Amino acid sequence: VDFKSDKQPTWCPGCGDFGTMNGMMKALAETGNSPDDTFVVAGIGCSGKIGTYMHSYALHGVHGRALPVGIGVKMANPELEVMVAGGDGDGYSIGAGHFVHAVRRNVDMTYVVMDNRIYGLTKGQASPTSREDFETSTSPDGTNMPPVNPLALAFASGATFIAQSFSSDSKRHAEIVRKAVEHDGFGYVNVYSPCVTFNDVDTYDYFRDALVDLKEEDYDPTSREEAKEVILSGDKEYQGVIYQNEDSVPFEQQEGIDEPMNTVPDGAPDGATDLVREFY
């Protein structure tokens, strides 16, 4: 199955987003999906262009708002495989509120964040995951703030699946995204996806040296204690499925949520349900 569109990416040569996208396409194909049943939603930023480069239904949304749109798509048509893509600025700054609530809602979809620890499209400003001492055009003496730990944010918000991968480790990255797609609920993957143009600190070489792979035979992602230790360790870059709640029940399959959300509650004025259905 070919998820690649005929559009030529305008990402800088060597950008980590190429590897991130390739792994997403591979994961979708391996899980038996086709472009006909797949909907990709993206926000704004270099990552936001992905819907154009993938052959599927797609929507290029507004900055930080891709997740609520993706949730809406899934609730309106639960048959679709919904994948939301974004960047660290998009997802952990303006979109941080949506991230927290998407995690706790646990709709059955996948969220892939291309984390390059810098704003790329707007030419190199500090992002929420930039290091404290990273000198950029907006932080000439460093940010003087600790970076956001998005895995901790997800864990504290009740995430049922948290993973991290490296765009350059193509086989492992695709395998990790595949597990997120297969997860029953909100599958969240933070991907180290280097920006070769504006980030000379978090480079391919840095991640290759720093990466610690949580191999399945040595690590139990169902253990909250182990996950907490990894997420809060602070001094290592981990790759693998970090946490998975195997008892996860997606929001839309929970008791009492047996209708698509494009309905109105009992007691609403006559005709309102039809109106809402028509609207959607």
Question: Is the CB of residue 39 less than 8 Å from the CB of residue 56?
Answer: yes
111-170: which residues touch ligand SF4 (CB under 6 A)?
Answer: 116, 120-121
Nearer to ligand SF4, 72 or 147 (CB): 147
Query: Rounded distance, CA 135 to CA 138, Å?
Result: 8
Nearer to ligand SF4, 80 or 113 (CB): 113
Helices (H), 139-265: 150-156, 170-182, 204-210, 224-232
Least Å distance, CB 12 to ligand SF4, is: 3
Query: Rounded distance, CA 192 to CA 88, Å?
Result: 10
Count the residues of the shown chain that bind ligand SF4, applying the rule CB under 6 A. 12
Is there binding between residue 85 and ligand SF4 (CB under 6 A)? no
Residue 263's CB is within 10 A of a number of other CB atoms, namely 14
Is there binding between residue 108 and ligand SF4 (CB under 6 A)? no
- DSSP per position, 217-249: TT--TT-HHHHHHHHH--S-EEEEEEEE-TT--
Least Å distance, CB 65 to ligand SF4, is: 20
Least Å distance, CB 18 to ligand SF4, is: 9
Least Å distance, CB 135 to ligand SF4, is: 17
What length does the chain have? 280
The strand pair at 161-166 and 237-244 is best described as antiparallel
Nearer to ligand SF4, 11 or 192 (CB): 11
Distances (CA, A) of 173 to 30, 157, 176, 244: 13, 24, 5, 17
Stretch that binds ligand SF4, among 10-18, 60-68, 104-112, 160-168 (CB under 6 A): 10-18
Nearer to ligand SF4, 11 or 166 (CB): 11
Is there binding between residue 100 and ligand SF4 (CB under 6 A)? no
Nearer to ligand SF4, 46 or 154 (CB): 46
- Burial of 252 per CB tally in 10 Å (0-12, 13-18, 19+): buried
Is there binding between residue 201 and ligand SF4 (CB under 6 A)? no
Is there binding between residue 54 and ligand SF4 (CB under 6 A)? no
Nearer to ligand SF4, 23 or 120 (CB): 120
Sign (positive/negative) of CA torsion 198, 199, 205, 208? negative
Which residues form the interface with ligand SF4 (CB under 6 A)? 11-12, 15, 17, 46, 116, 120-121, 195-198
